[in-house]
Amino acid sequence: MELDELRKLIDLNELDLLYELTSIIESNKKDVERILRGQKEAGIRVRESMQDVKLLCEIIRDKIQVRKKAKWGDK
């Protein structure tokens, strides 16, 4: 994921980030099918996008933690 793409994610809420995550996963379906047929290049693309998936999951987790602490801190 490029730096410009990461900057755009800052303003998104958790649901929007989840939609972004699912779109990345959906876009990898065809490459995974190609991997099963033996194409090594498709495997490289999938591994790279899985790094993006991991990063998005971490961002979602952090946003949820911040939201949780904000709510619990008010009580």
Q: For the whole model, what pTM was predicted? A: 0.78
Contact between 60 and 21 under an 8 Å Cβ cutoff? The reply is: yes
Q: Which of 29, 59, 60, 69 is nearest to 46 (CA)?
A: 29
Residue 4: the pLDDT is 83
The gap between the terminal CA atoms of the chain, to the nearest Å, is: 38
Residues contacting residue 45 through CB under 8 Å, at least 6 positions apart:
28, 31
Our count of domains for the chain comes to: 1
pLDDT in tens, 1-37: 778 888 888 888 999 999 999 999 999 999 999 999 9
Average pLDDT score over the chain? 89
Residue 22: the pLDDT is 94
Length of the chain: 75
Residues of the domain holding 38: 3-74
pLDDT in tens, 37-68: 999 999 999 999 999 999 999 999 999 999 88
Supply 15's token pair.
Answer: 């649901």
